[in-house]
Structure 1
Amino acid sequence: MTYETAKSRFAEWGIDTEAALMRLAQVPISMHCWQGDDVAGFEQRSGSSGGGIQATGNHPGRARTPDELRADLEFAYAMIPGQHRLNLHAMYMDTNETPERDEIEYRHFVSWVDWARDQGLGLDFNPTFFAHAKADDNLTLSHPDPGIRDFWIEHGRRTRDIAAAMGTALGSPAINNIWVPDGMKDLPIDRQAPRARLEASLDAMLAEEQDPATMRDAVESKLFGIGVEAYTVGSHEFYLGYAIRKGTLLCLDMGHFHPTENIADKLSAVALSVGELLLHVSRPMRWDSDHVILLNDDILAMGQALISEDLLGRTHIGLDFFDATISRTAAWVIGTRNMQKALLRAMLLPLERLKEAEETLDFTARLILTEELKDLPYGAIWEEFCKRDDRPAGAQLIGELTRYQTGVAHRG
């Protein structure tokens, strides 16, 4: 079906496809660097541990250096319509120095900033509280040892400074997202003491004010992970309360809740109390497994919630999955494009008509509408979006992904 024919079909429902395409082009998605190298990072120090982070598989082509990772990212962005961002972890410093994490500085990341400027990308940032000897107990900011807490507090302070410098250099505020792996494998006796220590550590880490025009803090909750199956210090309730009290962004990671929970439903609830939100879009399978996102009901519901509840302007969208069983660059491309497709489908809904049916309690009309709308030719509108930005779609995309993977497979 041609775009003009599809455009006419949507116009019959009162939907302006041109407006939807223009709106989607303005939505940046922050693509995560750690999909490209299986969350290994580029620190020169050795002896670190996983800290509850695990990528499975050994597909050929893993990026081994910052330059290889940047080349993979450039290819991925060239397959994705629109203008986006990169989400960078502190463990991805690009330097021949060997700073400890409480010693890192902006200069260790300047090459990333220069590259992002050349690519027209914004940067986001994350302190790395895992894969380190001082995280082997799966306790960092909540550790009972004040020396270990101080180490991680200083790490967090420095990442905030680095994120602010990135935001200043690129003219776009960097979201500095705080996630810690803290928890226990078996049942704790005292659940409050670690949370009190975590709160005090966060307060110390965030004490220095930063200009929101250059950097914004976010806090990210979790249900559980490897090694913390019985108790997670930074639970959803902990961070929801903290974000409300302290005025930080609240990060909702789709992989950090029970698979039967509807994360899209949480948006409208927390938005009543939190000013801005951060999303980490992922796909859990039975637990926090961070699969590449599909264009499934969960993602469609997330896109619809952002659009129908007018939350897009208050929500920063990032991705968070890592799969080493498939081409890593293809994972980026598929996942990011699926997030865009979900947003586009939501933008192509006759929301006023749907809301009117709901407000008048005409649930029959609402059901008829939602079911009939599923037959509209969304694919033709997406193909037009790709075409206008000179990005491949369909069989052409498959060919490009295969060609690139063949070229990098020799990396081992």
Structure 2
Amino acid sequence: MANIKEQYETAKQAYSKWGIDVDSVLETLKRVPISIHCWQGDDIGGFEVNRGELSGGIDVTGDYPGKATTPEELRMDLEKALSLIPGKHRVNLHAIYAETNGEVVERDELEPKHFEKWVQWAKENRLGLDFNPTLFSHEKAADGLTLSHPNPEIRKYWINHCIQSRKIGEYFGSELGTPCLTNIWIPDGYKDIPSDRLTPRKRLKDSLDKIFAVEVNEDHNIDAIESKLFGIGSESYVVGSHEFYYGYALRNDKLCLIDTGHFHPTETVSNKISSMLLYSDQLALHVSRPVRWDSDHVVTLDDELREIALEIVRNGALDHVKIGLDFFDASINRVAAWTIGTRNMIKALLYALLTPNDYLMQLQDEGNFTDRLALIEEFKTYPFGAVWDYYCEQMDVPVKESWLEDVKTYEKEVLSKR
């Protein structure tokens, strides 16, 4: 469309006055993968033969029609969403998305063979895969404790599950030629004030030591551990706090994964990134949108998302921060949710790349806070949208809101018939 090209050229001129090469920015953006979580498509149901109710302080609300109920449907829905999102990305799986051909397979017995169809699909679509052991929605996690459980047999079960998960991650990385991020999150905690905070953390540390004592090829699998402040049923105490996991990650050379919904409502993840990167070469993100609590709303292009992207870009950390998404909304079309959230994450990165970050940092060092604030505000209405539209067109995905018609057609022709 000529109009899109013309608007893009006009935008290029506006940004070039500040030394921003927009063509180069788009080339950079193409190389940034987002790890898209599969569980938005089926409300974290998974495909276990003996699957139980969702638990572990996790809640998905809504009953919008069209939920994926088979691996084939979930992959089909992911393909649809990916066709509406510019760039080449990754897909993030949980262990409960194993395919066992109707056989009951305990989680501590899962093997790479149970994910062969996912790997074949990823190869066909030129995607990387990431992975997570599933330490919730299970009878051995019914009391909200797993790797810190006082019962050594239950701990052993979950330790073995995490070991098997790392081997599955290694398989993904080996087969796909891009390392898999295998992230451990546990729901462990207590509803009321505990009488002993230390001992559960000692047990968790011991469990992690046993998990990571089993060697996997680090060229194929990257280990990460994810903290949380509180959850439903663990309002007063969570064993795997931010301080616990960040200390463990630093001492044991693991990635610390921070979820934007896993902190106090007055904390911001954007404020943590620069500090953590001073001490860790890499870190990982699960980008969500908390509304009053860790409610995992679909990511919008809000101030905090832009600030997260700015922190990554202006600190030269695009190659040091592994960006994944983690939200689930069953009250709206699930393919639309993926599309909205992922496009917004990419938009935020583009916005950050189109900001004169070096000059703004110079103004700060000079103490020229007037010019700095004025420019920050003016750049909010620079022709960022024209660059985004051109990028979408160049990447052969729908421009502006036209993608919504594709989703509506898909809903009518596919989702409504499930």
Matching residue of 2:361: 355
Matching residue of 2:15: 10
Matching residue of 1:402: 408
Matching residue of 2:376: 370
Contact 2:229 2:262 in 1 (8 A): yes
Q: Distance in 1 between matches of 2:265 and 2:25?
A: 31
Per-residue deviation at 1:362? Answer: 1.1
Q: Distance in 2 between matches of 1:374 and 1:70?
A: 37
Per-residue deviation at 1:108? Answer: 0.4
Matching residue of 2:207: 201
Bigger mean CA deviation after superposition, 210-219 or 41-50? 41-50
| Residue type of the alignment partner of 1:294 | T
1:227 to 2:270 alignment: no
| Residue type of the alignment partner of 2:86 | P
Q: Distance in 2 between matches of 1:151 and 1:375?
A: 54
Q: Distance in 1 between matches of 2:288 and 2:182?
A: 19
RMSD (Å) for aligned C-alpha atoms: 1.1
- Unpaired stretches in structure 2, ≥5 consecutive residues: 1-5
Post-superposition CA distance 1:208-247 (Å, at most 9, x none): 2222210010000001111111110000110010101111
Per-residue deviation at 1:276? Answer: 1.1
| SS, match of residue 216 in structure 1 | strand
How has the CA–CA distance of structure 1 residues 288 and 58 changed in structure 2, closer, same or farther, with 3 Å as cutoff? Answer: same
| SS, match of residue 310 in structure 1 | coil
Bigger mean CA deviation after superposition, 146-155 or 267-276? 267-276
- Aligned mate of 1:131, from 110, 130, 137: 137
Per-residue deviation at 1:339? Answer: 0.3
Matching residue of 1:90: 95
Q: Distance in 1 between matches of 2:30 and 2:365?
A: 31
Q: Please list, as runs of the form range in 1=range in 2, the aligned pairs for 1:164-203 lying within 5 A after superposition.
A: 164-203=170-209
| SS, match of residue 107 in structure 2 | coil
* Number of residue equivalences: 412
Q: Please list, as runs of the form range in 1=range in 2, the aligned pairs for 1:54-203 lying within 5 A after superposition.
A: 54-96=59-101, 97-203=103-209
| SS, match of residue 250 in structure 1 | strand
| Residue type of the alignment partner of 2:8 | Y
- Unpaired stretches in structure 1, ≥5 consecutive residues: none
Contact 1:177 1:218 in 2 (8 A): yes
Contact 2:11 2:387 in 1 (8 A): yes
Contact 1:48 1:133 in 2 (8 A): no
Contact 1:247 1:275 in 2 (8 A): no
Per-residue deviation at 1:367? Answer: 1.0
Q: Please list, as runs of the form range in 1=range in 2, the aligned pairs for 1:221-300 lying within 5 A after superposition.
A: 221-300=227-306
Per-residue deviation at 1:404? Answer: 1.5
Contact 1:293 1:335 in 2 (8 A): yes
Per-residue deviation at 1:411? Answer: 4.8
Bigger mean CA deviation after superposition, 144-153 or 50-59? 50-59
Q: Please list, as runs of the form range in 1=range in 2, the aligned pairs for 1:373-388 lying within 5 A after superposition.
A: 373-388=379-394
Post-superposition CA distance 1:161-214 (Å, at most 9, x none): 010011000011000000000001111100000000000001001102222210
1:218 to 2:220 alignment: no
Post-superposition CA distance 1:261-301 (Å, at most 9, x none): 11101001111122211100000000010000000001000
| SS, match of residue 312 in structure 1 | coil
| Residue type of the alignment partner of 2:89 | H
Matching residue of 1:41: 46
1:52 to 2:32 alignment: no
Contact 2:314 2:358 in 1 (8 A): no
Per-residue deviation at 1:395? Answer: 3.4
Contact 2:51 2:137 in 1 (8 A): no
| Residue type of the alignment partner of 2:153 | G
TM-score w.r.t. length of structure 2: 0.97
How has the CA–CA distance of structure 1 residues 121 and 273 changed in structure 2, closer, same or farther, with 3 Å as cutoff? Answer: same
Q: Distance in 2 between matches of 1:271 and 1:395?
A: 36
- Aligned mate of 1:314, from 306, 309, 320: 320
Post-superposition CA distance 1:47-96 (Å, at most 9, x none): 45522221100000100000000000000000000000000000000121
- Aligned mate of 1:29, from 25, 31, 34: 34
Post-superposition CA distance 1:352-400 (Å, at most 9, x none): 2111111111111111211121221100000011000110022311211
Contact 1:264 1:301 in 2 (8 A): yes
Q: Distance in 1 between matches of 2:23 and 2:416?
A: 43
| SS, match of residue 316 in structure 1 | strand
Per-residue deviation at 1:24? Answer: 0.3
Q: Distance in 2 between matches of 1:297 and 1:101?
A: 39
| Residue type of the alignment partner of 1:270 | M
- Aligned mate of 1:346, from 344, 347, 352: 352
Q: Distance in 2 between matches of 1:283 and 1:199?
A: 29
**Seq. identity, %:** 52
TM-score w.r.t. length of structure 1: 0.98
